[in-house]
Every structure is written in C-alpha cells, then in structure tokens.
Amino acid sequence: MLEHVPSWLGKALSGLRAGADKLAIVRPELGGEFPAIDLMSPAFADGARLPDRFTADGDGVSPPLVWGEPPAGTARLVLIVEDADAPTPQPLVHAVVWDLPADAGRLAEGAIVADGDGAGGRDVGRNSYFREGWLPPDPPTGHGTHRYAFQLFALANGAGDPGDSPGRAAVVEAMAGHVLAAGVLIGTYDRGEAAPVGPVGAVAPA
C-alpha cells in the first residue's frame, strides 16, 4: 500500500491532498450543520497522533470509540472514517459501519472487521480498497501529517437502504435528509523522512 511509496515521491505529492471540505460530514445533501454528539477514544485524544497499533505500522486493528447519548428519535448510528489528506481527489475511506444500534454507545478495539452481510445489528461496509473492514492508515513517507476523521451520524427513521456491505457513496445517499446529529474525532498520523545513510563509522548527530 502507500507505505511503499518512496519518500521523494511522498514529498513531491505533499501539496496534493483531498481536503477536509470533501469529508462526508460536510456533504451538502446531508443538510449542513447538526447538533453535536460527543465522540471520543480511550486510545488517543482529539487531534492527537494515532498509536501505531491502529496503523499499517502496527497490528492494523481499528481503535476503540465511545460516544455520548444520541438525540431522541435516533433509529440507528453510522460511522464513516476518512483520510482528509490522502493524495487523491476524494478522501480515502478507511471504514464504514452502517446500522449501529442507537444505544450502542461504543465500538471496541478491533471491532471493525469484515462481516459479510452484517452481524449483530450492524453491517461493516467497504473501504476505498473495496474490502470490508478497517483499512489501517499508511500515509506515504514524507507526505506530512494526515488527518483521519472519525464521523458518527445519528439517523432518524426513514433512511434509505444502502445495500449489503455498502460503500461511502451509498451510505451518504441513504443518510440524506435523515441526519439528526453528528460527531467528529480527529486522529493524526505521518511517516517522517527516511533516515540518511552515512559512511561506516560516522557518528549520528545528537
């Protein structure tokens, strides 16, 4: 994946980013501003670096999430995780979870895994690699810091059916006009420049 992009190419692409203005939560068809849901993780603070175990440099499991009570009338919850800084025209989708129970309150570490047509009242959808489950962050070396937006939506009754193992586009279309509230949690991750290799016996700088 992108961890294999050479550092010189990552740096050359550093100005190419999808942009936070293309995240699902700001899609105009969803209706604009919403009341907020408190979305947090016991593994990292909002705006802080994701621990390696949740990325392609570690175990590659999804992080734990917890959230506050959604508004009255919530029929289901939806989670979409996107990389706002991917060197692609649109944010890279790292996870889609459709039809979480309104009273779920949390997702355990490693819970976003392939589940076929759904299990336990929810359906894990397809990421940007067209696979079900969690796509571990793996930004190109030298591309700079990437922002991973965990977006949780509370939906009223009447949302459409995005189908089995839905992708982002189908989920956004199904949610349109039915979002009651939403929450966002940002985790960051980056890969620094490759360490230069000097002559044998050279002393590394302090």
Q: What is the pLDDT of residue 2?
A: 52
Count CB-CB contacts under 10 A for residue 179: 21
Q: Work out how many domains the chain is built from and give that number.
A: 1
Alpha helix positions (H), the chain: 7-12, 168-175
Residue 115 within any structural domain of the chain: yes
Q: Classify residue 126 by its DSSP letter.
A: B
Residue 63 within any structural domain of the chain: yes
What is the Cα–Cα distance from 176 to 10, expressed in whole angstroms? 36
Residue 157 within any structural domain of the chain: yes
Q: Check: CB of residue 140 under 8 Å from CB of residue 115.
A: no
Residue 206 within any structural domain of the chain: no
Q: What is the pLDDT of residue 71?
A: 96
Spans in the chain with pLDDT lower than 50: 5-13, 194-206
CATH code: domain of residue 110: 3.90.280.10
Residue 198 within any structural domain of the chain: no
What is the Cα–Cα distance from 40 to 160, expressed in whole angstroms? 27
Q: What is the pLDDT of residue 110?
A: 97
What residues form DSSP beta bridges with 80?
Answer: 96, 151
Q: How does pLDDT run across 138-189, given as a tens digit for each residue? A: 999 888 999 999 999 999 999 999 999 999 999 999 999 999 999 999 999 9
Residue 158 within any structural domain of the chain: yes
Count CB-CB contacts under 10 A for residue 191: 23
Residue 196 within any structural domain of the chain: no
Domain range for 63 is 2-189
Residue 42 within any structural domain of the chain: yes
Global pTM value:
0.86
Q: What is the pLDDT of residue 181?
A: 97
Q: What is the pLDDT of residue 14?
A: 53
Q: What is the pLDDT of residue 192?
A: 76
